[in-house]
Amino acid sequence: MKDNPPLPVVIVAGLHADARTQVVEQLLHSVPGSVALHHNLATAADGTVQRTIRDAAGELSRDNAPLVNDCACCALREDLVPELERLAASGLTRLAVVELWDSVEPKAMAEVVTAHGDGVSLSNVITAVDPALVLPYLANGDDLSEAGLAAASTDERTVGDTFARQLEYAPVLALIDNPDADEEDRALVAQLHPTASRVPAIDCEQLVQLAFSTGFDVDTAAAAQHPACALLPQESEEAGVSTLVWRRQRPFHPERLYRALEDLCCAAVRSRGRFWLADRLESLLAWDAAGGALCVEYAGPWLASLPDAAWELVPPMRRAAAALDWHPVHGDCCQHLVFTSPGLDRDGLERLLESCLLTDEEYAAGPQAWRQLPAAFDSLLDPAS
């Protein structure tokens, strides 16, 4: 195996199964000697995950892998790397296309292949997208289990937040041609992930070029999604779709923000970013909402709360993000939230957000007084308390 050059591996992900299949077939027919691996997690209820390997002519093999810890995704991780290594060792495969099952997120699989694959090289990650389905999928707050798409019995993700992460992680979005898609649909895709390469799924030459990219950096991709240094979209307005970037350097009043959560997370089809609560001054909090469902999590300390010596241990992207938000008094502590949606009520949303900040009088009282404000977020951030 060591005598062979690394086997290029491209991951194709996405909840839009028909779009995903179209992209995979395009690659198989455009690259002689390519094969596609697919693990069907729908068979997990029977205690196995079904693996198929195919090329442009059809199916080459079909086998079952047992569940690991009652988790279909764990079985996928345990089975995928050995299969890729076997293909690499044969020296007969020019490109391995990993077609992920519907709700499997590419981040975890990209990191597994990069960390454990011997003789393979992850060249790129592509999410296949049907533009006409982006809005209905993002707006879908159903649990994956209700849709028959859960990857484990403990899977609590929703359709909307899963699709959002699939779309926003991949540096390449392959768009199929659906006559039902309009300018609003295409504007929504562009604003949700403005830095992605958006490629028509029928563009064989460009797809192949991206599949043989020089390499995919999982650390950079993870940092781009981490709330502390996310490459969040910029202000935009096109075809009835708006992106509002709201940045302030005054903390939220925890109780007023908590009361406004339902209205805020329903104000846009997608919102994300980082925020600052007056009673948790050192805590950088992550905001992640899709389909009317909101996830609020602790994402580490603000850099302003760390000793200078600790900065050397912080990744460069994190330091760069902090520098952009830096305030002479509060450091990088800030509100940086981004809302994207068709028909966004910008003025109403800004008024609601502003009403959740500390008033001038509350702000003037200072940090000691802020810490005494009602700890309204304890139930979300400290559920065990």
Segment 290-324, tens digit of pLDDT: 988 899 999 999 999 998 888 888 888 888 888 88
Q: Burial, 197: exposed, middle or buried (Cβ in 10 Å; 0-12, 13-18, 19+)?
A: middle
Q: Are residues 78 and 151 in the same domain?
A: yes
Q: Are residues 51 and 190 in the same domain?
A: yes
Q: Are residues 245 and 219 in the same domain?
A: no
CB 74: neighbour CB atoms within 10 A?
A: 15
Q: Are residues 203 and 286 in the same domain?
A: no
Report pLDDT digits (tens) over 224-279.
Answer: 888 887 778 889 999 999 999 999 999 999 999 999 999 999 999 999 999 999 99
Alpha-carbon gap, residue 334 to 336, rounded angstroms: 6
Q: What CATH number is given to the structural domain containing 201?
A: 3.40.50.300
Question: Which has the closest alpha carbon to 113: 102, 97, 128?
Answer: 97
* One-letter identity of residue 145: S
| Domain end position, chosen among 225, 249, 280 | 225
Q: What CATH number is given to the structural domain containing 346?
A: 3.30.1220.10
Q: Give residue 64's domain range.
A: 7-225
Q: 330 with 236: CB under 8 angstroms? A: no
Question: Which has the closest alpha carbon to 143: 103, 109, 101, 192?
Answer: 103
Q: What is the average per-residue pLDDT within 129-141?
A: 97
pTM of the predicted model over 0.85: yes
Q: Is position 231 within any domain?
A: no
| Domain end position, chosen among 165, 196, 225 | 225
Alpha-carbon gap, residue 191 to 196, rounded angstroms: 10
Report pLDDT digits (tens) over 59-117.
Answer: 999 998 888 777 777 888 888 999 999 999 999 999 999 999 999 999 999 999 998 87
- Segment holding 248, helix H or strand E: strand 241-248
Quickly tell me which residue has 């990088």 as its tokens. Answer: 332
Q: Is position 2 within any domain?
A: no
Q: Are residues 76 and 120 in the same domain?
A: yes
Q: Are residues 145 and 245 in the same domain?
A: no
Q: Are residues 288 and 162 in the same domain?
A: no
Total domain count, the chain:
2
Q: Are residues 255 and 276 in the same domain?
A: yes
Q: Is position 11 within any domain?
A: yes
Q: Are residues 123 and 255 in the same domain?
A: no
pLDDT value of residue 385: 46
| Domain end position, chosen among 179, 198, 225 | 225
